[in-house]
């Protein structure tokens, strides 16, 4: 399994406390070498376009509340895409 790495959220991510969530995301390395992540759009199970655009999953643990842009989150990078 690919280990989780830390990335900086580029946007607010709503999160309900009490449940684990995996949100589809796009990770990019900026000019300073920092890893940043954004959501791919709507995250519903029927949104295949958001999965096709994703190169990672954003891991949100049960205790976590809403993510604010600039917060650090853990991501699972899809192997070989970055």
d(CA 79, CA 61): 22
d(CA 73, CA 20): 13
Reported pTM: 0.82
d(CA 16, CA 63): 9
Per-residue pLDDT tens over the stretch 20-45: 999 999 999 999 999 999 998 777 66
Domains recognised in the chain with CATH numbers: 5-77 (2.40.340.10)
Looking at residue 76, its pLDDT comes to 94
Residues 6+ apart with CB under 8 A from 1: none
């Amino acid at each position: 399994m690919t280990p989780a790495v830390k990335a900086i959220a580029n946007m607010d991510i709503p999160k309900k406390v009490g449940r684990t969530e995996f949100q589809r995301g796009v990770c990019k390395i900026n000019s300073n070498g920092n890893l940043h992540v954004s959501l791919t759009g709507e995250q519903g199970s029927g949104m295949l376009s958001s999965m096709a655009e994703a190169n990672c999953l954003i891991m949100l643990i049960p205790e976590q509340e809403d993510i604010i842009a600039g917060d650090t989150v853990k991501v699972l990078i899809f192997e070989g895409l970055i």
